Structure 1
Amino acid sequence: MRRRTPRITSFFLIAILTALVWARAACAQPTPESHVIPVWIYDADSFEFWRTPQGELQGFYPELVRAINQKLDIHLQLQPISGPEIGQRFNDDRYGVYAGVLRTEARARTKILSSQLFNNEVVVASPTMSVNTADELSHARVLFRQNDATLESVQKRYPDLKFRSLRLVASSEEAFRLLGEHQADFYINDASEMENTQRYYLISRPFPELRIPVVLAFSPELKDLREKVNAFIGEWYRSGEIRKALEESKRQYLLSRITLSKEERTWLANNRLQIWLPKNENFAPIIWKDDRGYQGTAINMIHDMRELLGMEVDVHFVDNYAEELAQQRWPVRLVDVAEKTDLDHAAGRIGPDVAWHNVYYNRIKQPFLWDEESIRSQRVGVLAGSFSARYLQERFGSDVVIVTRHSVNGLIDAIENNKIDYILGDLSSLESTLRGNELFRGVLKVAGVTRSEVIIGPWVQPDNPMYHLLTQVNRLSSFRTQLERHETRDFFPALTKNTLKVISVILLITALFSIGMLVMMRRHMKENRLVNRNIVQALEKVNRAHDDETGSHIQRVAKYCGMMARELDLSRKMIAEIEHFASLHDVGKIAVPERILRKQGPLTAQEFNEMKLHTTKGYMIIQGLGLGPVAENIIHFHHEKWDGSGYPEGLRGENIPLEARILALADVYDALRQKRVYKPGFTHELACEVIFEGAGKHFDPQLIALFRQHHLKFCTIFDSLAD
């Protein structure tokens, strides 16, 4: 026994040392099952994350982390750190989860990334200047934040863009300090870095088609956690929780950041804010009038001023708004109409502007306006005192015969009695009236749109004591108006037998009344479908007149889409809408300059960027027509790609609406088959090869699988409707 003791002692010593080494290794490499998992986040206030005065963490990521912990039964813990530190940790693959990572192709290849959480817009900030296009930045001194993917994304999407000087800063605070000291002209970053109502600067959007997906990133040790988190993100997307959390975080963040200076408090205590708005003319989306009254962002902002800040606001609705606006020069204009080059407007802008195009109508048998210059010598009817009247006067002077009426119905009567050749007005005003007018059905059509450089947006005189506060309120209101407010009642009164009898009688009467209403609604729906069909046909004709593409192209695309929708076993309503609205997918080309649309050779980078805006312009044209989300999604998103490299939003995968994914495949197939000036028509076999190669890149892989099964039907449709 004595001789075996050393061997036994050695065995135990080896076992103890092994256990110590294993324990140390376990401590050095924590696992998500047994330890707190740090979630590293850039320590800068934004809707993604901020601290209350009491030090409590608020925002989108604290809410997301709480929800993931509860669902997956793990312990993620938010850890705010500086920009340089989080950048170094991320580059070195240090242990943890990383929040707010901007997805790039390089990162997708080298890092472990989650599904997309949301998209960030890239914007430009300046204390005094604004830009409309990327080219305007070529002579500017610009700032980017280091260890950030924004610069890489801008350089990739705009490879020809060169700056006068480029400087990297450690934080957004440093960037805004340099702007304030006039050491730089612009700071470029994603929108989440700019959404702070305590900073006063102008925001420009010269990169309209650039969107950067925001994701989570995982260190190599947490690779297995990614699939669980992705499944959770998918559930949040489908339930709408992710959008709700984003909107609520943005609203609460902006509300928490609204501050009133001593001067502003004094002014509010002694004054009432005076606001003038148009009474008889729509300026959607800022203000319009329907059967519910006045709607729009200006009205919502007024409600927010009253409800959130307790401000006393007097609203005056005036006739002939455009004329009064030019004469009165009110210090606060929630609806300001100006040229893009108007420096006074740029200096006082407190919110985003939108391009403003008016629409020409004429009789169906009359010609379309291929060029707006052909309106000269014509009789054009407009609302008295409207912006349309002012536009024609400034653009064409005495070369156009301007006929005024005091209502849209008066204009309809005038064109019916051959007293005018065209009606010019904003689309939302005309459509809301024409939709209920028998003359519109089969008689009037959209003939063209104005090509002015006019913008509309909210404006406040820069030296007005309310300028900074109204800037803050405007930004808050833009998020708040996206939310629906519901009133709920959680009581149920005790009912006697007599009360139940009374309720039973009321319910019977209500049921009979409901049946009658359903009959009336069915009749009304049929009428709306007829109106929608007329609108679609009118827009199709305008688009064909403006573009070289034939009617056969849009007919074939509609047939392809309808066939695929049926093979996917979608609902009858969905199939009908996809097939019906597919022909409108390129309606935005109405607003593309003819020099670009009809150019025989290849487009320059700048021309192609302008061409890509047809998706956004088309979406703007049909908004307010009541065509529904299927039509809007087809027009807005049919150039998105499965891998996220499309435009205008850079949507990825199933975030692209199904109807837009279907349209994208159908449109590309037909474009490949068509003979154009700049290319021969592809054979069916060669077109199929190109389509197949796009699986998982350009196109939805499931739709490609469906296309493989039914590609011969595509060929049959093309041959049967050949040009």
Structure 2
Amino acid sequence: MIIFTQIFSLNLTDKEKYWLDKNKSKVINVYFYNPNHIYFFQKENGKLGGVYLDFFKKITDKTGLKFNITVKQREDLRNLLKNGEGDIVFNSSRVESREKLYYYIPTLEDKFTPKNEIPVSNSWLSVNKNLPELYSIVKKSTIDFSNSEILESLKKERPIFYKTLLKKDKRVLELRKKYSSIKVLLPPSGDVLPFVYKYKNKNEGYAIDRLNELSFVLGVPLVYTKNSNEKYDIKAVDSSIFAETNSDKYIPYYKIGVAVFSRISENFIDSSEETYSKSVGFVSIENLNSDFLKNISHFEKYIKYKDSDAALNGLLKGEIDYLYGDFKIIYMAIENKYLEKDIKVSGFLGGYATLGFGVPHDVELFELLDIIFPNKLFESSILQSELKFSKKININYEYFLFVAAVLITIILILAYLLKKMFLAQLKGKRITKALVHSFEAANELNDEDTGHHILRVNLYSKLLAQQLKCSSKFINEIGEYASLHDVGKIGISDTILKKPGKLTEEEFQKMKEHVILGKKLIDKMELGTIASNLVLYHHERWDGKGYCSGLKSTDIPLEARIVALADVYDALRQTRVYKEGFSHEKAVDIIQKESGKHFDPDIVKIFLEFNKEFENIFRNN
């Protein structure tokens, strides 16, 4: 059993935030079947691992939800699905009877496949239909869990998964006895981006990552050499076009896409025939076989370069007019030499051969590397996404110094502007606070009971917002602006405001206008949405029978629902010219009876829990 607990913020709808707050102590039960998949598996120590553990960890970090992940047997899982139990269920195929009980979401492996193209027999992620907010949160999270995050998780989990999967494999046991280290032949010419390259004195790249996985599974270290005369166990970059290769023990990992490069001034080409009369260059880290040499015999003049850097230098010096090579390998070399303004892609000629691992001697080593190699689509497509992005391993110091100078200038300008902005904001806050106090004073002069009332409404509202776990910004703003809820009454006649008896229908309609007048005043002051909403909507009712818009339930902004209860409690307690004040107990009883009618039931629950604090605020203020 695994439980994650930690609370962070996530940009969710108000309804989803409200559901999260109500369910902060709830543990979401997640059920899996058959944990022997790279995305979810059981480790040697019995603990669970895989990409989905990172996925649920991220949801926990974003929302604070806690997940209890449990493995079920096939029959138990079928019964659970039949009865509509469990909050989230994995490895569930879509059938009509289940779709009545569960929402279905494509798994991370299928998340970019259109839903109608995914077979119903595939494994799906299903969420109980009793939990629509959870469904929405999980669905958003599968989209939010990016390919780069899946990639990092796969790179972390694959070695552990395969070590667990192959712990009793005879080949693994034999190879551990046979090897104290595995010698890997690297390209003698240097970097072949993005497959093998040196970065900070460490071998990196797609091919190196796969070899490190092999090393981890076997528990045998890798030893690197660039001397092809030494006996080696694995060749990191091999190809069928090389003169010396062992193609019968060859695992391809990349299809070469031939592109033609030239200086900026040269013409674009549509076919290789256009360059037969030109000087051309080829990049090959090894001697090429006779079949390949026959194909390039059409060219009048050609030069073979040992690496991309030498070929690019030859192109710039005019030794060759065009350079043939793999698009990604050459273009990454161009970017690392910052030659984008000097060299261009002049044409594409398609695929010709592949690059891969060569294993010259040991069949068992070849078979094990082939098993570990990411052949499945959901693995290879993510892991090979690394090959789509450039690898910068060299620094352009001139460019770096230029950027640094520009950044320092920008920072100095920003520091000056920020200082001015801070002083302006400080002045603006003082002006706003003065305006708020002015309106409060105007209300107080109009009605001598109002001064204490609006102060208490601020305190009640802030207390409720704190107990509802609202954001600090929300708490601060409602604690400051709740006092303005009736600011519009300064535009209502004293004969109505101070009338000792019941208002006529006409007078009541006039009184209702104070929320519209108040909103106009607040908007002119530019106090923000929270202030505007609590002024305009604090007379709305949970059952929709309030004014001025007839909103109901959660359509009423939370700040208005809070102020509505705070205002009524204080009004019930106050003695006015036309009524005696009620006791605290009587006011609590009235509010409790109005739960679900006048007031939000959840806010009433908070009020009842902290009603003594309300009484203390009334007595002391």
TM bucket, shorter chain: 0.3 to 0.5
Radius of gyration: which is bigger?
2
Normalised by the size of structure 1, how large is the TM-score?
Answer: 0.39
Which structure's relative contact order is higher, taking Cα pairs within 8 Å and 6+ residues apart? Answer: 1
Normalised by the size of structure 2, how large is the TM-score?
Answer: 0.45
